Structure 1
Amino acid sequence: MKKKLVVLTGAGISAESGIKTFRDSDGLWEGHNVMDVATPEGWRKNPTLVLDFYNKRRQQLKQVQPNIGHQILAELENNFDVYIITQNVDDLHERAGSSNVTHLHGELLKVRSSKNENYILDWQDDLNFGDVDQQGNQLRPHIVWFGEQVPALEEAIEITEQADYFAVIGTSLQVYPAAGLIDFTKKQTSIYYIDPKPIQIPNLRNPLVVIPNIASEGVRILKEKLKTNP
Structure 2
Amino acid sequence: MHVPAAVLDLTRGARRVAVLSGAGMSAESGVPTFRDALTGLWENFDAAALATPEAWNADPDAVWAWYQWRVALVRKVAPNAGHHALAEWERTAKVAIVTQNVDDLHERAGSTVLAHLHGSLFEPRCSECERPMDLPAPPREPLERIAPPTCDTCGGAGRPGVVWFGEMLPRQPWDAAVAALRVADVLLVVGTSGIVYPAAELPELADRHGVPVVEINPQDTELSSRVEAVWRTTAAVGLPGLVAAVGTLE
TM class by shorter chain equals 0.7 to 0.9
CA separation in 2, counterparts of 1:120 and 1:64? 25
Cross-structure match for 1:106:
119
Asked whether the 8 Å contact 2:84–2:109 carries over to 1, the reply is yes
Deviation at 1:166, TM superposition (A): 0.4
Asked whether the 8 Å contact 2:114–2:176 carries over to 1, the reply is no
Cross-structure match for 1:196:
218
Asked whether the 8 Å contact 1:110–1:124 carries over to 2, the reply is no
TM-score for the superposition, normalised by structure 2? 0.81
Equivalent position SS for 2:31: coil
CA separation in 2, counterparts of 1:212 and 1:111? 36
Alignment of 1:167 with 2:179, yes or no, is: no
Equivalent position SS for 1:56: helix
Calculate percent identity across the aligned residue pairs. 38
Asked whether the 8 Å contact 1:109–1:124 carries over to 2, the reply is no
Asked whether the 8 Å contact 1:94–1:101 carries over to 2, the reply is no
Matches within 5 A, 1:17-166: 17-22=29-34, 29-30=38-39, 31=43, 32-117=45-130, 119-126=131-138, 128-129=146-147, 131-133=149-151, 134-151=153-170, 152-166=173-187
CA separation in 1, counterparts of 2:100 and 2:245? 24
Asked whether the 8 Å contact 2:26–2:105 carries over to 1, the reply is yes
Cross-structure match for 1:8:
20
- Structure 1 residue runs without a partner (length 5+): none
Asked whether the 8 Å contact 2:195–2:222 carries over to 1, the reply is no
Cross-structure match for 1:210:
230
Deviation at 1:99, TM superposition (A): 2.2
Alignment of 1:184 with 2:205, yes or no, is: yes
CA separation in 2, counterparts of 1:179 and 1:23? 20
Equivalent position SS for 1:168: strand
Deviation at 1:116, TM superposition (A): 2.6
Kindly tell me: are residues 65 and 48 of structure 1, through their superposed partners in 2, closer, same or farther at Cα, counting changes over 3 Å? same
Partner residue of 1:219 out of 215, 236, 239: 239
TM-score for the superposition, normalised by structure 1? 0.87
Deviation at 1:6, TM superposition (A): 0.6
Asked whether the 8 Å contact 1:111–1:120 carries over to 2, the reply is yes
RMSD over aligned CA atoms reads: 2.4
- Structure 2 residue runs without a partner (length 5+): 1-12, 140-145
CA separation in 2, counterparts of 1:94 and 1:124? 19
CA separation in 2, counterparts of 1:57 and 1:221? 31
Deviations, residues 10-49 of structure 1 (Å, cap 9, x unaligned):
111111111111366xxx7443312222111111222121
Higher strand residue share: 1
Asked whether the 8 Å contact 1:165–1:190 carries over to 2, the reply is yes
Equivalent position SS for 1:175: coil
**Structure 2 counterpart of 1:34, one-letter code:** A
Flag the structure with larger Rg: 2
Deviations, residues 89-115 of structure 1 (Å, cap 9, x unaligned):
111101101024311111111211112
Which of structures 1 and 2 has the larger relative contact order (alpha carbons within 8 angstroms, sep 6+)? 2
Asked whether the 8 Å contact 2:67–2:121 carries over to 1, the reply is yes
Asked whether the 8 Å contact 2:61–2:148 carries over to 1, the reply is no
Kindly tell me: are residues 225 and 148 of structure 1, through their superposed partners in 2, closer, same or farther at Cα, counting changes over 3 Å? farther
